Amino acid sequence: MNFMRNTWYAAVWAQDLPADRLVPVTIIGEAVVLFRDAAGKATALLDRCPHRLVPLHLGRLCDGGARLQCGYHGLEFDGAGRCVRNPHSDRVPTAAKVRAFPVVERHSLIWVWMGDAAPCEAQIPDYSAFDECNNARVGRRETIELDVNYQLMTDNLLDLSHVSFLHDGILGHADMVRGNIEVQQEDNTLYVRRATPNVAPPGMFDLMFRRDGQPVDVWADMRWNAPASMLNYAGVCPPGGERSAGVHILGAHILTPVSEFRTRYHVAAVRYDDTVTRSEEEASEVMQKLGDLRRHAFKDQDEPMVMAQQDAMIRAGGLDAVEPLLLNIDVGPARARRLLETLRQQADEVREPVEA
Ligand code: FES
Ligand SMILES: [Fe+2]
């Protein structure tokens, strides 16, 4: 599979990379080991010792993270991947080095640049709503391991018309089928917006808003950045009213391909429901229920459906073996797939200019 290489991938939530731990992650088929150096800076090395090729995450950290010692014969590497100690000799062979990947810790996530080109920090998408300073509003930051291809999950997230069927009663219902879908590209960012005016509130938003079942305008605006980092701005407000008079959620949906058929899915949500007055007890009950509903919609509804889709595709000969029928609701996913391929070619297949 042609994964984009010269781009940032969210490896883990920062909370899941404590000091003194070696954390193995596989990103686009490459084994990477993450740790914090002596200054607490997140570091990523290829998870493979150049001697005998064993995973370095089976070793240990020395001097508070200053060096990673291989667990097999004790070569020690610094955060730049240089071998700084060979316990068997005073000489360190020049080939004793490990690839180091550029890392940035931002918006409570650890981002790793997987390509050989110079990394561009400005390309990290804005998830500032998830910064630690906003913790009072942010629900659990979780990572879900999925046995599905990341593009099938992207299709799922960029086509939210499925809420009326797969998530009937929770995130959608029959009256929301005919949403107005709008796709817009700004530079390399894609927006897929879906609005359903004047309908009964879907269960999750009724719980968050007025709890009276009265009609509302519903929207879900999904932002997409290559390769598969999404942010969903979704909410309800009184019909014809300002969105600021309603309630909304910002949902992080960040997909990191592990391999062709496996994906790490980083999720978290930020609630904005200050327009509703509640006791502290009610607010924490709502927060708990929202988390449970989101988890149920994902684990019991989306995940089994997309896994079954992938199984059917594999039985038919592979993910690209059968040309799928395209409906009007597929405009967002189709556009994202085309844009990703264009950006991948631009980023990874840079050729020498042809001499005139
Ligand atoms: S395998 Fe790492 S030092 Fe031998
Ligand atoms: Fe879904």
Provide block-wise average pLDDT over 10 residues at a time, the chain (356 residues).
95 98 98 98 98 98 97 98 97 96 98 97 97 86 95 97 95 93 97 97 94 95 98 97 96 97 95 89 87 90 96 96 94 97 93 54
Residues with CB under 5 A from ligand 2 (ion): 302
Instruction: Report CA(163)–ligand 2 centroid distance (Å).
Output: 6
Q: Are 201 and 236 in contact (CB under 8 A)?
A: yes
Residue 6 DSSP code: S
| Tokens representing residue 151 in the block | 């593009």
Q: How far apart are CA 131 and CA 224, in angstroms?
A: 19
To the question of domain 8-123 being in CATH 2.102.10.10, the answer is: yes
Extended beta strands in the chain, E state:
8-13, 23-27, 30-36, 42-46, 60-62, 67-69, 76-77, 83-85, 100-101, 103-106, 109-113, 142-146, 180-186, 189-199, 216-225, 229-237, 247-259, 262-272
Please give the pLDDT value at position 145. 93
Q: Which ligand is nearest to the CA of 55?
A: 1
Beta bridge partners of 250: 233, 270
pLDDT at 277: 87
Tokens representing 175 are 């009256």
Residue 54 burial by CB count (10 A; 0-12/13-18/19+): exposed, middle or buried? Answer: middle
Structure tokens at 62: 């020395």
CA distance 95 to 116: 19
Q: Which CATH architecture has domain 128-346?
A: Alpha-Beta Complex (3.90)
Q: Is 99 in the pocket of ligand 1 (CB under 6 A)?
A: no
- Tokens representing 323 are 């040309």
Ligand 1 contacts CB of residue 96 (under 6 A) = no
Measured by CA distance, the residue closest to atom 3 of ligand 1 is 73
- Tell me if domain 8-123 and domain 128-346 are identical in fold: no
CB atoms within 10 A of CB 286: 17
Domain ranges of the chain: 8-123, 128-346
Question: How many angstroms from the chain centroid is the CA of residue 92?
Answer: 39
Predicted pLDDT of residue 135: 85
Give the per-residue pLDDT at 133: 86
Contact 219, 201 (CB under 8 A): no
Residue 355: per-residue pLDDT: 57
User: What single string gives the DSSP state of each residue in 213-270?
Assistant: ---EEEEEEEEEETTTEEEEEEEEESTTS-GGGSEEEEEEEEEEEEETTEEEEEEEEE
Please give the C-alpha separations between residue 23 and each of 7, 11, 16, 31, 42, in angstroms, as whole numbers.
Answer: 21, 10, 9, 11, 11
